[in-house]
Structure 1
Amino acid sequence: MSNCGSSEQPQVLMLGEIHHANDVFDGLCQSVCVKQITNGTRGQFLDDCGSGTYSNVVAIARNVDSIRFTGRFDSDLIAKLPSSVKFICHNGAGYDQIDVKACTERGILVSNTPFVVNDATADTAMLLLLAALRRAWIPQSAVRNGLWDHTRPLGRDPKGLTLGILGLGGIGSAVAKRAAPFGLKLQYHNQSPARASAMSRLNLGNDEPKYVTFEELLRTSDIISVHVPLSDRTRHLIGKKEIDMMKENIIIINTARGPIIDESALVQGLERGKIWSVGLDVFEQEPEIHPGLMKNENAILLPHIGTATIDTRVSRLADMIFESALRKFQN
């Protein structure tokens, strides 16, 4: 499979299955020596790192699902990596699975694929938003059980409602572009207002999102869509206190990271009727989902499929990670 000669040859370590873009991966294997791991345990991986098994690995390419058998690339794992490792290429947006500070201290450069996921994730956010407005799970589950007219609740129209975008980065901006044609009023909160150049690229004219404080976004939005990265600062950024500040019948969408929202507080908000509905693609303890969400008919739930399109996974993410690994390897 890989272009491996002597045992001393520099190598790329691929962590995780290749479900798509096999031709791209085969091309990488033809160019450099590649080792691939698709299963095991964290303990085994740490032992192998310390035993010299990967002593010639220069670059590590990893898929998100590899966390199942390596665990998070935290400071303990980074400390065990052989000194030969100079690059980690992460196939996904965000760095919550990798301790970048620990990598920097070891002289390891880290790359990810932030921009290629924007469109697919924004599409998923809009899918969840529209479904949450209509509380779509109720009629869908009813019709699958042979029921019809008397099981259809009235939904809400997007036109005229205020969408609060929490994090107007690449994905948040892509959501703004998609939301404007539905007649939603747009506002956003970042740590600081977006630059004029970034706003002009949205090309929304009079529909340009308005900058508001975090508290104002909570108090005045009819819908809140979460698009901030997970960090110590944003973990449980939305909890009971924040939900209490929101409008009655608020709709909450999260396609970012589950732990940004306190899931227990979210369930309580749904159960007491403060929250109209939620649309979630990510969860605090995924793949485990809070039982209160599973049983609540006003929760639209997806299994973290934000980037799960053939176009994104094959044409964009895989190409970028393998090209990045090869480029790092050859430098």
Structure 2
Amino acid sequence: MLLKSRPAHSLVGALFKAQRNVRLLSASTKPRVLLLDPINLAHEELESLKSEASLIPLTSTDRASFINDLKSDYKDITAIYRHFKGTGSINITGRFDEELISQLPSSLRFISHNGAGYDQITVEPCTARNIQVSNVPSVVDDPTADTALFLMLGSLRQFNVALAQAQAGSFHRGLPLSSDPQGKLLGILGMGGIGRALAKRARALGMTVQYHNRNQLSEDLEQGAKYVTRDELLSTSDVVSLNLPLNAATKHTISTPEFKSMKPSAVLINTARGPVVDEKALITALESGEIAGAGLDVYENEPQIPAELLRHPRAICLPHIGTLSYETQKEMEAFCLRNIRTGLSTGKLSTFVPEQKGRW
């Protein structure tokens, strides 16, 4: 008996359907990565990740819908990418606190956080659930130190006061004399990568550097900086630069007692995190003359900046732009995406936040 041959168009259709099913099966077996914030610059690394994972965009509109979507649209995700910026996904998800972390899918293994500071994530419950957390520990060192240097020079030389006079049409009439950096003593609270990068820049200006950490650095990392107690640093420094992480122990680490112990001629620089400074106490210290000035890139309740600071002639206020350069943002994105790829291929991120070092 002769078998009827299938029409050519039927064979083509069957082949197309089979290929589509293969593609769907391949996509379904890829690990799923939730992108809470867009990748704007690291296009090459994004394409590489696309070849290895299914990328899921954030579609939730608020924290409640996000938690609900974790059980449906975002179920079975293996990794999360997020950005620290105050105008980003945090306005939808809120902080990654214990409540939110308890709702994350059991499949989640990695959170790649785009930022040096990671106070938006409570690490302990992540560790308890076997979720690895990474930040961007070194890419930000130089650009943040550059920002601190700008704020330090501006505060010492009172460039903002001079600029305001120029804009008002007054060509330095009655402008008070400012201070040069040369010969001044810079005190760094938190001598990590950013602190050391700032110390290098300060030495080039002829400044002397002292610092305080929980532990003294090795001589090669100190690079001539003097290790002192916290009290000595605050009472003797001409410039106090804050370069320490935000956590329960460092919140409001600079408040009324600290300002009272500082020299009346000293200036405070903060490029760390806003809440390490008690802003109300800072405003009082500026208005009373307890300190000579402040250079700030971070604030307690970002994106809000207190009006008292914005209008104070001896406060320089930047809107958290320390790492907002093209080169830095691109590398920060690329770093995070490479870290996710490493985690997906090896089961272990290439870097962890300090609290998780040695865990995996």
TM-score of the superposition, structure 1-length normalised? 0.92
Which of 94, 97, 114 matches 1:71?
94
Q: Is 1:17–1:38's contact at 8 Å kept on the other side of the alignment?
A: no
Q: Is 2:166–2:172's contact at 8 Å kept on the other side of the alignment?
A: no
In 1, the alpha carbon distance for the partners of 2:84 and 2:74 equals 20
Which of 130, 153, 156 matches 1:130?
153
Matched residue, 1:266: 282
Count of aligned positions: 320
In 1, the alpha carbon distance for the partners of 2:142 and 2:339 equals 21
In 1, the alpha carbon distance for the partners of 2:95 and 2:177 equals 43
Q: Which amino acid aligns with 1:209?
A: A
Which of 225, 229, 239 matches 1:223?
239
Matched residue, 1:87: 110
Q: Which amino acid aligns with 1:104?
A: T
Residue 151 of structure 1 deviates from its aligned partner by 5.5
Residue 243 of structure 1 deviates from its aligned partner by 0.6
Residue 78 of structure 1 deviates from its aligned partner by 0.5
Deviation digits for residues 27-55 of structure 1, max 9, x if unmatched? 32233210122762122211111x23212
Residue 8 of structure 1 deviates from its aligned partner by 5.9
Q: Which amino acid aligns with 2:212?
A: H
In 1, the alpha carbon distance for the partners of 2:74 and 2:117 equals 26
In 2, the alpha carbon distance for the partners of 1:191 and 1:32 equals 41
Aligned positions of 1:44-193 closer than 5 A: 44-49=65-70, 51-65=71-85, 66-150=89-173, 152-193=175-216
Q: Which amino acid aligns with 1:144?
A: Q
Residue 67 of structure 1 deviates from its aligned partner by 1.4
Residue 308 of structure 1 deviates from its aligned partner by 0.8
In 1, the alpha carbon distance for the partners of 2:265 and 2:176 equals 15
Structure 1 unmatched ranges of 5 or more: 203-207
Matched residue, 1:321: 336
Residue 90 of structure 1 deviates from its aligned partner by 0.7
Tell me if 1:24 matches 2:45.
Answer: yes
Residue 198 of structure 1 deviates from its aligned partner by 2.3
Matched residue, 1:205: none
In 2, the alpha carbon distance for the partners of 1:6 and 1:325 equals 18
Matched residue, 2:300: 284
Question: Higher mean Cα deviation, 180-189 or 18-27?
Answer: 18-27
Deviation digits for residues 170-194 of structure 1, max 9, x if unmatched? 1000110010011111100001211
In 1, the alpha carbon distance for the partners of 2:302 and 2:176 equals 29
In 1, the alpha carbon distance for the partners of 2:148 and 2:286 equals 19
Residue 244 of structure 2 aligns to a residue whose secondary structure is: coil
Residue 249 of structure 2 aligns to a residue whose secondary structure is: coil
Q: Which amino acid aligns with 1:275?
A: I
Q: Which amino acid aligns with 2:104?
A: L
Residue 275 of structure 1 aligns to a residue whose secondary structure is: coil
Question: Higher mean Cα deviation, 82-91 or 62-71?
Answer: 62-71
Q: Which amino acid aligns with 1:178?
A: R
Q: Which amino acid aligns with 1:326?
A: R
Tell me if 1:255 matches 2:271.
Answer: yes
In 1, the alpha carbon distance for the partners of 2:62 and 2:165 equals 42
Q: Is 2:30–2:53's contact at 8 Å kept on the other side of the alignment?
A: no
Matched residue, 2:12: none
Q: Is 2:84–2:118's contact at 8 Å kept on the other side of the alignment?
A: no
Residue 52 of structure 1 aligns to a residue whose secondary structure is: coil
Tell me if 1:35 matches 2:56.
Answer: yes
Identity within the alignment, %: 43
Superposed structure 1 runs of 4+ greater than 6 Å apart: none
In 2, the alpha carbon distance for the partners of 1:190 and 1:258 equals 19
In 2, the alpha carbon distance for the partners of 1:155 and 1:38 equals 52
Which is higher, the Rg of structure 1 or of structure 2?
A: 2
Aligned positions of 1:281-320 closer than 5 A: 281-314=297-330, 316-320=331-335
Question: Higher mean Cα deviation, 268-277 or 26-35?
Answer: 26-35
Residue 294 of structure 1 deviates from its aligned partner by 1.3
Aligned positions of 1:204-223 closer than 5 A: 208-223=224-239
Residue 267 of structure 2 aligns to a residue whose secondary structure is: strand
Instruction: Report the RMSD for the aligned CA atoms in angstroms.
Output: 1.7
In 1, the alpha carbon distance for the partners of 2:250 and 2:32 equals 36
Matched residue, 1:10: 31
In 2, the alpha carbon distance for the partners of 1:23 and 1:70 equals 27
In 2, the alpha carbon distance for the partners of 1:43 and 1:120 equals 36
Residue 197 of structure 1 deviates from its aligned partner by 3.9
